[in-house]
Amino acid sequence: MVKAENKNLEKEVLLKNLYAPHRDFKNSPLFIPGECTSIVFGEGNPDAEILFIGEAPGKMEDIEGRPFVGQSGRLLNRALEFAELKREEVYITNIVKCRPPNNRTPLPNELAIGRDLLLLDQIRIINPKIICTLGSAALTGLTQKGYSITKIHGSPLTFLEYVLLPLYHPAYILRNRREAPNFLADIKKIKTLL
Protein backbone atom coordinates (compact mmCIF):
# COMPACT_ATOMS: atom_id res chain seq x y z
CA MET A 1 0.00 0.00 0.00
CA VAL A 2 2.80 2.41 0.96
CA LYS A 3 4.63 1.47 -2.23
CA ALA A 4 1.53 2.13 -4.33
CA GLU A 5 1.03 5.50 -2.65
CA ASN A 6 4.68 6.45 -3.32
CA LYS A 7 4.31 5.55 -6.97
CA ASN A 8 1.20 7.66 -7.17
CA LEU A 9 2.98 10.60 -5.59
CA GLU A 10 6.00 10.23 -7.88
CA LYS A 11 3.81 10.24 -10.95
CA GLU A 12 1.83 13.20 -9.64
CA VAL A 13 5.06 15.18 -9.25
CA LEU A 14 6.25 14.19 -12.73
CA LEU A 15 2.92 15.27 -14.21
CA LYS A 16 3.05 18.58 -12.33
CA ASN A 17 6.57 19.21 -13.67
CA LEU A 18 5.38 18.44 -17.17
CA TYR A 19 2.58 20.97 -16.82
CA ALA A 20 4.70 23.69 -15.17
CA PRO A 21 6.21 25.26 -18.36
CA HIS A 22 2.66 25.72 -19.75
CA ARG A 23 1.09 27.35 -16.68
CA ASP A 24 1.61 30.73 -18.36
CA PHE A 25 -0.63 29.39 -21.12
CA LYS A 26 -0.56 32.38 -23.48
CA ASN A 27 3.17 31.89 -23.90
CA SER A 28 2.89 28.12 -24.33
CA PRO A 29 3.27 26.54 -27.80
CA LEU A 30 0.04 24.70 -26.91
CA PHE A 31 -1.93 27.99 -26.89
CA ILE A 32 -4.56 28.43 -29.60
CA PRO A 33 -5.60 32.08 -30.04
CA GLY A 34 -9.33 32.78 -30.07
CA GLU A 35 -11.39 31.53 -27.16
CA CYS A 36 -8.90 29.60 -25.08
CA THR A 37 -8.56 30.92 -21.52
CA SER A 38 -6.77 27.99 -19.92
CA ILE A 39 -4.73 24.87 -20.55
CA VAL A 40 -6.74 21.76 -19.71
CA PHE A 41 -4.00 19.37 -18.72
CA GLY A 42 -6.02 16.33 -17.59
CA GLU A 43 -7.18 14.76 -14.36
CA GLY A 44 -7.56 11.48 -12.57
CA ASN A 45 -5.41 8.78 -11.06
CA PRO A 46 -1.77 9.40 -12.09
CA ASP A 47 -1.18 5.65 -11.80
CA ALA A 48 -4.30 4.68 -13.77
CA GLU A 49 -4.52 1.45 -15.74
CA ILE A 50 -6.87 3.14 -18.19
CA LEU A 51 -6.14 6.42 -19.96
CA PHE A 52 -8.87 8.18 -21.95
CA ILE A 53 -7.81 10.69 -24.60
CA GLY A 54 -10.34 13.07 -26.13
CA GLU A 55 -9.99 15.72 -28.82
CA ALA A 56 -9.84 19.17 -27.21
CA PRO A 57 -11.54 21.12 -24.43
CA GLY A 58 -14.92 22.72 -25.13
CA LYS A 59 -16.42 25.81 -23.48
CA MET A 60 -17.17 24.20 -20.10
CA GLU A 61 -13.80 22.47 -19.97
CA ASP A 62 -12.04 25.74 -20.75
CA ILE A 63 -13.95 27.52 -17.97
CA GLU A 64 -13.41 24.81 -15.36
CA GLY A 65 -9.91 23.81 -16.53
CA ARG A 66 -10.99 20.15 -16.41
CA PRO A 67 -11.58 17.66 -19.23
CA PHE A 68 -15.02 16.28 -20.11
CA VAL A 69 -17.18 18.27 -17.71
CA GLY A 70 -19.83 19.40 -20.24
CA GLN A 71 -22.48 17.42 -22.12
CA SER A 72 -19.97 14.97 -23.59
CA GLY A 73 -18.50 14.50 -20.13
CA ARG A 74 -21.87 13.61 -18.66
CA LEU A 75 -22.31 10.94 -21.31
CA LEU A 76 -18.78 9.68 -20.70
CA ASN A 77 -19.53 9.47 -16.96
CA ARG A 78 -22.65 7.40 -17.65
CA ALA A 79 -20.72 5.11 -19.99
CA LEU A 80 -18.00 4.64 -17.36
CA GLU A 81 -20.65 3.65 -14.82
CA PHE A 82 -22.11 1.22 -17.34
CA ALA A 83 -18.64 -0.34 -17.75
CA GLU A 84 -18.27 -0.47 -13.95
CA LEU A 85 -15.36 1.97 -14.01
CA LYS A 86 -14.94 4.84 -11.56
CA ARG A 87 -13.97 8.20 -13.05
CA GLU A 88 -11.50 8.83 -10.22
CA GLU A 89 -9.71 5.53 -10.97
CA VAL A 90 -8.97 6.37 -14.61
CA TYR A 91 -7.06 9.31 -16.12
CA ILE A 92 -8.74 11.61 -18.65
CA THR A 93 -7.03 14.09 -20.96
CA ASN A 94 -7.19 15.44 -24.52
CA ILE A 95 -4.67 15.43 -27.33
CA VAL A 96 -5.12 19.21 -27.72
CA LYS A 97 -5.00 21.11 -24.43
CA CYS A 98 -6.48 24.46 -25.50
CA ARG A 99 -10.01 25.16 -26.72
CA PRO A 100 -10.04 25.78 -30.49
CA PRO A 101 -12.18 28.77 -31.56
CA ASN A 102 -15.84 27.89 -32.22
CA ASN A 103 -15.04 24.35 -31.12
CA ARG A 104 -13.62 23.68 -34.57
CA THR A 105 -11.74 20.43 -35.20
CA PRO A 106 -8.07 20.82 -34.24
CA LEU A 107 -5.71 21.48 -37.15
CA PRO A 108 -3.07 18.87 -38.02
CA ASN A 109 -0.27 21.02 -36.53
CA GLU A 110 -2.25 21.51 -33.29
CA LEU A 111 -2.69 17.73 -33.00
CA ALA A 112 1.02 17.16 -33.68
CA ILE A 113 2.13 19.76 -31.09
CA GLY A 114 -0.28 18.37 -28.49
CA ARG A 115 1.01 14.87 -29.09
CA ASP A 116 4.72 15.59 -29.22
CA LEU A 117 4.98 18.28 -26.59
CA LEU A 118 2.81 16.82 -23.88
CA LEU A 119 0.64 13.80 -24.58
CA LEU A 120 3.43 11.30 -25.28
CA ASP A 121 5.10 12.27 -21.99
CA GLN A 122 1.79 12.02 -20.13
CA ILE A 123 1.40 8.49 -21.52
CA ARG A 124 4.96 7.55 -20.50
CA ILE A 125 4.48 8.86 -16.97
CA ILE A 126 1.06 7.32 -16.35
CA ASN A 127 2.13 4.14 -18.16
CA PRO A 128 -1.42 2.75 -18.41
CA LYS A 129 -2.39 -0.75 -19.50
CA ILE A 130 -4.96 0.55 -21.97
CA ILE A 131 -5.31 3.76 -23.90
CA CYS A 132 -8.85 4.58 -25.05
CA THR A 133 -9.04 7.28 -27.68
CA LEU A 134 -12.36 9.09 -27.94
CA GLY A 135 -13.16 9.98 -31.55
CA SER A 136 -11.27 10.26 -34.77
CA ALA A 137 -9.02 13.26 -34.01
CA ALA A 138 -7.49 11.64 -30.92
CA LEU A 139 -7.01 8.30 -32.71
CA THR A 140 -5.46 9.62 -35.91
CA GLY A 141 -3.57 12.42 -34.14
CA LEU A 142 -1.97 10.03 -31.69
CA THR A 143 -1.18 7.14 -34.06
CA GLN A 144 -0.57 9.34 -37.12
CA LYS A 145 -2.40 6.73 -39.17
CA GLY A 146 -5.50 7.30 -41.30
CA TYR A 147 -7.89 4.99 -39.45
CA SER A 148 -11.62 5.29 -40.01
CA ILE A 149 -13.28 5.41 -36.60
CA THR A 150 -16.55 4.00 -37.95
CA LYS A 151 -14.65 0.90 -39.11
CA ILE A 152 -12.09 0.48 -36.32
CA HIS A 153 -14.06 1.41 -33.16
CA GLY A 154 -14.03 -1.37 -30.60
CA SER A 155 -11.12 -3.25 -32.25
CA PRO A 156 -8.00 -3.21 -30.06
CA LEU A 157 -4.79 -1.98 -31.70
CA THR A 158 -1.22 -1.73 -30.50
CA PHE A 159 0.35 1.70 -29.97
CA LEU A 160 3.95 1.65 -28.70
CA GLU A 161 3.74 -1.02 -25.98
CA TYR A 162 0.15 -0.21 -25.10
CA VAL A 163 -3.22 -1.69 -26.00
CA LEU A 164 -5.19 1.03 -27.75
CA LEU A 165 -8.96 0.73 -27.87
CA PRO A 166 -10.52 3.22 -30.29
CA LEU A 167 -13.90 4.47 -29.06
CA TYR A 168 -16.42 6.83 -30.60
CA HIS A 169 -16.40 10.36 -29.23
CA PRO A 170 -19.32 10.96 -26.81
CA ALA A 171 -20.29 14.11 -28.78
CA TYR A 172 -20.75 11.91 -31.86
CA ILE A 173 -23.03 9.62 -29.86
CA LEU A 174 -25.09 12.64 -28.72
CA ARG A 175 -25.63 13.49 -32.40
CA ASN A 176 -26.08 9.87 -33.55
CA ARG A 177 -28.06 8.12 -30.85
CA ARG A 178 -28.34 4.95 -32.94
CA GLU A 179 -24.63 4.34 -32.31
CA ALA A 180 -25.07 4.43 -28.51
CA PRO A 181 -25.34 0.62 -28.14
CA ASN A 182 -22.07 0.23 -30.09
CA PHE A 183 -20.36 2.85 -27.92
CA LEU A 184 -21.48 1.07 -24.76
CA ALA A 185 -20.49 -2.36 -26.10
CA ASP A 186 -17.03 -0.98 -26.94
CA ILE A 187 -16.49 0.62 -23.55
CA LYS A 188 -17.62 -2.58 -21.84
CA LYS A 189 -14.64 -4.32 -23.53
CA ILE A 190 -12.14 -2.29 -21.50
CA LYS A 191 -12.24 -4.54 -18.45
CA THR A 192 -11.75 -7.66 -20.57
CA LEU A 193 -8.53 -6.14 -21.97
CA LEU A 194 -6.92 -5.37 -18.61
Q: Answer yes or no whether residue 94 interacts with ligand URA by CB under 6 A.
A: yes
Q: How far is the CB of 32 from ligand URA (least distance, A)?
A: 14
Contact status, residue 24 vs residue 98, Cβ threshold 8 Å: no
Site residues for ligand URA, window 168-187 (CB under 6 A)? 171
CB nearer ligand URA, residue 13 or residue 138: 138
Q: How far is the CB of 2 from ligand URA (least distance, A)?
A: 33
CB nearer ligand URA, residue 92 or residue 125: 92
Q: Answer yes or no whether residue 140 interacts with ligand URA by CB under 6 A.
A: no
- 132 alpha carbon, distance to own chain's centre: 8
Site residues for ligand URA, window 47-86 (CB under 6 A)? 54-58, 61, 67-68, 70, 72
Q: How far is the CB of 1 from ligand URA (least distance, A)?
A: 32
Closest CA to 149 of 100, 108, 186: 186
Residue ranges that bind ligand URA, judged by CB under 6 A: 54-58, 61, 67-68, 70, 72, 94, 171
